[in-house]
Amino acid sequence: MANIQLFQSLKNKFLPVATAINEAGAPAYQLTPKHQLAQYAATGCLNATYYASAEAQLAEVLELCQGIDPQFIAQTAVYCRERGYMKDMPVLLTAVLATQGRPQLAAVFNRVIDNGKMLRTFVQIVRSGATGRKSLGSRPKKLVQAWLNNASEKALLSASVGSSPSLADVVKMVHPKPAEAWREAFFAWLLNKPHQAETLPPLLAGFKAYQQDRTQPVPEVPFQMLTALELPAQAWARIAMQSGWQMVRMNLNTFARHGVYELPGMVEAIAAKLRNAELIAKAKVFPYQLLAAYKAIDPEMPVAIRDALHDALEIALANVPRIEGEVVVCPDVSGSMSSPVTGYRAGATSTVRCIDVAALVAAALLRKQPHTVVLPFERDVVRCGLDHRDTVMTNATKLASIGGGGTNCSAPLAYMNKRKLRADLVVYVSDNESWIDARRNSATATMQEWEMFKRRNPHARLVCIDLTPHATTQAIERADVLNVGGFSDDVFKIIAAFAAGQLSAARWLGEIEATAL
């Protein structure tokens, strides 16, 4: 009989050999430069991650931008802001276009710089010199002036909250020439210059009046402008009702400390706001932000508020499409997944970890597809009993409580191959830093196990969702393999389109390149 081991190995002869070493020091496949940029932009928050420093990420993105078509840089910035809901990375790419003097700048600026905080971040990045120069330059300066001269009073007031730079610093840099008397008075107030009180815009005038007389109505200004004042519970209740959805989500404990929930009808009113589908959509909320709010709330929080967060998460994931066929989802619960999903930042590190997001994706797919098989993995597959009838929040919390161990991305596929399980779609949610299954001078173990799986499931497709910014993957991009980065709900739409064979040949990059400027 022929040598079984010899001919077994020849089955994988034509699989591509790993072309790179990942951050964990194991073989992997190098993503193309465009794919790398997209990955960094969709997942990077310019903070330190488990494997890479913030400085290393910045250097990598800037180097990638030197060799990539500015049109793609522009499309990536818009895509990651509008569909990925990212902040700092789209601004960085906009600053790169500004420094390079690219014609796409104006279109990208108007799409990415959509609020005052983004404006201040843009000025901060350009003035830092990180992208190549420390002055704004004439075209960027005109764009900043135009933003200041066209923003609503509410947008300007929101922009006035914050520093490094402050909005006053920005105004001093670009010297906007307002056409309206109220805008001129606003800038004078901002710069502590003389101005005519009667020409102040209404919200600012109301704020100044409230400072002098607390019997006046609470003005509809950013709540940060009011927190330095001693406010009664009724004033805080008014703030809760007139503030944006995200602000309410982030300050549920603040309202509790100030007695808001003790006022008649306020628990019901805030709960109704939290589960308002229109407000959730407008806020561009990450599903994981609702999980963060739920994890952070005080144990004594009214049950109605807790239930509203459960409902809000279900609503935020309502557009997760149902995927036909048998689905297996594999959330990575290894030790490296315990790092914050937005990276480490002194004094502002998110409590939400990569493992929480992976668990959330798995729970959401299970909710839409009750027969979904969930295979959490670290060194090996870890069993976890989930009920599709439970809320996404409940199942995500169960999954995220596992955690620990080394990373073995091939483990779920090996588990399925051993048991001869079938599936039409396999979805990984991971940081892709596999090292337990490292094999030198060959294809990665993940690709070898996938090839075996495909022999039994010839029409199956594999999706690898990566939650962290880096340049490699364990499964090489090809007709049946999709690598996609990010943690907004747009990822679900891309998975569904890929599963249904509706993505273009360019896949995820094709989605980005289809972004109209």
Whether the per-residue pLDDT at 4 is higher than 50: the answer is no
Q: Residue 5 has what pLDDT? A: 47
47 falls in which pLDDT band (50, 70, 90)? confident
CATH topology of domain 321-513: Rossmann fold (3.40.50)
Where in the sequence of the chain do the CATH 3.40.50.410 domains occur? 321-513
Q: Residue 205 has what pLDDT? A: 92
Whether the per-residue pLDDT at 189 is higher than 70: the answer is yes
Please, what's the largest Cα pairwise distance for the chain? 99
Whether the per-residue pLDDT at 7 is higher than 50: the answer is no
**Average per-residue pLDDT in the chain?**
89
The pair of three-digit structure tokens given for residue 14, joined into one six-digit string? 């034509």
10 falls in which pLDDT band (50, 70, 90)? very low
Q: What is the pLDDT of residues 163-178, one digit of tens each?
A: 889 999 999 999 999 9
Q: How far is CA 380 from the centre of its chain?
A: 28
pTM: 0.88
Residue type at position 296 = A
The pair of three-digit structure tokens given for residue 209, joined into one six-digit string? 């009046």
Question: Whole-angstrom Cα distance, residue 472 to residue 76?
Answer: 19
Q: Is the dihedral of CA 4, 478, 35, 332 positive or negative?
A: negative
Q: What is the pLDDT of residues 267-285, one digit of tens each?
A: 999 999 999 999 988 887 7
Q: What is the pLDDT of residues 403-447, one digit of tens each?
A: 788 999 999 999 999 999 999 999 999 999 999 999 888 899 999
